[in-house]
Structure 1
Amino acid sequence: MPSIDFAAFASRTLDDATIPELPNHYRGKVRDNYDLADGRRVIIASDRLSAFDRILCAIPFKGEVLTQTARFWFEATADICANHVLDYPDPNVLICRRLDILPVEIVVRGYLAGTTGTSILTLYKQGQRTMYGMTLPDGMRDNEKLAEPVITPTSKEFDGGHDEPLTAAEILERKLLTPAQWEELSATAIALFKRGQQMAEERGLILADTKYEFGVAPDGTIVLADEIHTPDRSRYWRQASYEARFQAGKRPDSFDKDVVRSWVAARCDPYRDPIPDIPEDLIASTAAVYAEAFEMITGRSFAPDLEGDTVLERIRTRLAPLFDGR
């Protein structure tokens, strides 16, 4: 575990990344985006923790961990696929190319796992054996390894709709992607996932599944966007305990970042009721989990950037050269 007193940094969080001097602000659930006139996008990863379609709290260093974990993976996979990265002026900030995001999210799965309505485990437990254009055998168990990684694409709903499972045939019939785009995305996603699995295994981890997002550059090139292999977009399990827990029918040991979500859900209806104050020790322990995930995934020590009186002040200082980039 990282040797940092996370409780001491409870107030050093970035819960709002509004910078009026930057143009075209779009505030997402956990990231603030700014589009510059020259085609670049500034993405600031806040420390906001989102669940139940609302913000629950801010976790110290969460945005920094996710940005730097994605940076590690973008650099480790650049030989497989071009990505949108241009610069990292701050640990929480990515400057990237603005892309036309493709309307299909590519989820790659190596295990029969998941909890969402579109996960293969959920569908399998409902009795489905044919899904996403593939057929799974009877008799599989929760969290069992698949013979080969599979792609389970879903529609990307941009206006708050629900993602839907898709087959390759449906993607082509609905003209969401061209045949050439689908072929390239499929091959690229599998190659990225296998690289991720290999590197995770070297660090004592199992990369069970992950989600990729791709966009198209002005010249028509397909480019990897958003983030890659972060603990928020991927399911990581600890390798050493997997087999014993699987044989015992237990859930694999993972980086459990859902403790805040579970704590809230046990105390109220999180979709309707006011969110109760979340204990500082719970916030600190969640920060420690994110930092531990960074260290195990990357093999590097987590050393947070503590410059500036606040995180926002530090970011504003480093982004000041862009303030005339309207």
Structure 2
Amino acid sequence: MSTQTITDSNFNFPGQKSVYKGKVRAVYSLENDILVMVATDRLSAFDVVMPKGIPYKGQILNQIATKFMAQTEDLVPNWLIATPDPNVAVGHLCEPFKVEMVIRGYMSGHAAREYKAGKRMLCGVAMPEGMKENDKFPEPIITPATKAEMGDHDEDISREDIIKKGIVSEADYLVLEDYTRKLFQRGTEIAASRGLILVDTKYEFGKTKDGKIVLIDEIHTPDSSRYFYADGYQERQDKGEAQKQLSKEFVRQWLIANDFQGLEGQSVPEMSDDYIASVSERYIELYENIMGETFVKADVSNIQERIQNNVEAFLKTL
């Protein structure tokens, strides 16, 4: 493909102390407790990073996350300082909580798979009898997961176990739950204004040096969230049809259809250039629907150089 992607980042920013590389992002720690988070074009599914990058994916995820942080900062404080580049967020160093706060308004994805397997409890939370896949829960449920290191699977965990094992103190956990519900409510309202249903999502939080709990990482992106189109939702449910989704689920379904679910012994199917281009187009569609605005492609002739220059220029202003 002619479009350049960024699948690895080996930057050296002024005052850089260390770098942590996650599944799709690289986080650079600088002096003065500043973090530079670079969103790459890597694609992760079933906790496996795919061999090829998706054009514009990093820019899309970064811009959705940072714009939603601006739209929710009246409810929940966040780590963000600035976005000096389409693929970059700069923020305050935080000590991350070692749990992902997953909240589900509908029984979809992992919850639906567990339900089909006969389970009626998820992370210590009861799921009502008689539900169909993609039905709305009476109230949104919080189903936390322990955060995995790269290559490991996230594990479901109950609120009781999180507190009992000392992963998060009870006082802090109550704040995480409160913030999670507030963010999900706001996200639901924003989605509804754009003809979408926010089905489920996950949030990550950290603590600043002065002990404040803040939202970190991403929020309401198609990688961390599942959206349905509201139009026709009920008719599809009544007929037992699949819902029209705006999420990364289309990639997962393609992988499943090609005999890959991240299990031992399975290898990632070959992704053709045409398929990669179609995934990129889907991500742009996701952006435009979720944000309610046209996506503007950044200059990708030399992404690495662009990021280095933009970040360096910004750091001089601090």
CA distance in 1, matches of 2:251, 2:142: 30
Which residue of structure 2 aligns with residue 150 of structure 1?
Answer: 141
Are residue 319 (structure 1) and residue 314 (structure 2) matched?
no
Which residue of structure 2 aligns with residue 293 of structure 1?
Answer: 286
CA distance in 2, matches of 1:174, 1:276: 39
Are residue 303 (structure 1) and residue 299 (structure 2) matched?
no
CA 1:318 to 1:185, structure 2 compared with 1: closer, same or farther past 3 Å? Answer: same
The Cα offsets for residues 282-320 of structure 1, whole Å up to 9 and x where unpaired, read as 1121111111111111111111122x7311121121123
Q: Mean alpha-carbon deviation: is it higher for 74-83 or for 137-146?
A: 137-146
Residue 267 of structure 1 deviates from its aligned partner by 5.2
In structure 2, the gaps of 5 or more residues are: none
Residue number among 15, 39, 48 corresponding to 2:33 in the alignment: 39
In structure 2, what residue type is equivalent to 1:25? V
SS at match of 1:57: coil
Which residue of structure 2 aligns with residue 11 of structure 1?
Answer: 3
CA distance in 1, matches of 2:238, 2:274: 33
CA distance in 2, matches of 1:305, 1:229: 21
Residue number among 163, 172, 178 corresponding to 1:172 in the alignment: 163
CA distance in 1, matches of 2:83, 2:179: 24
Are residue 94 (structure 1) and residue 89 (structure 2) matched?
yes
- Normalization by structure 2: what TM-score? 0.89
CA distance in 1, matches of 2:108, 2:152: 23
In structure 1, the gaps of 5 or more residues are: 1-8
CA distance in 1, matches of 2:247, 2:172: 35
Aligned residues: 312
Residue 26 of structure 1 deviates from its aligned partner by 2.5
Residue number among 72, 76, 82 corresponding to 2:67 in the alignment: 72
SS at match of 1:140: coil
CA 1:36 to 1:166, structure 2 compared with 1: closer, same or farther past 3 Å? Answer: same
In structure 2, what residue type is equivalent to 1:305? A
Percent of matched pairs sharing the same residue = 37
Residue 10 of structure 1 deviates from its aligned partner by 4.1
SS at match of 1:285: helix
Which residue of structure 2 aligns with residue 28 of structure 1?
Answer: 22
Residue 56 of structure 1 deviates from its aligned partner by 2.5
Q: CA RMSD in A?
A: 2.5
Are residue 231 (structure 1) and residue 222 (structure 2) matched?
yes
CA distance in 2, matches of 1:274, 1:131: 29
In structure 2, what residue type is equivalent to 1:73? F
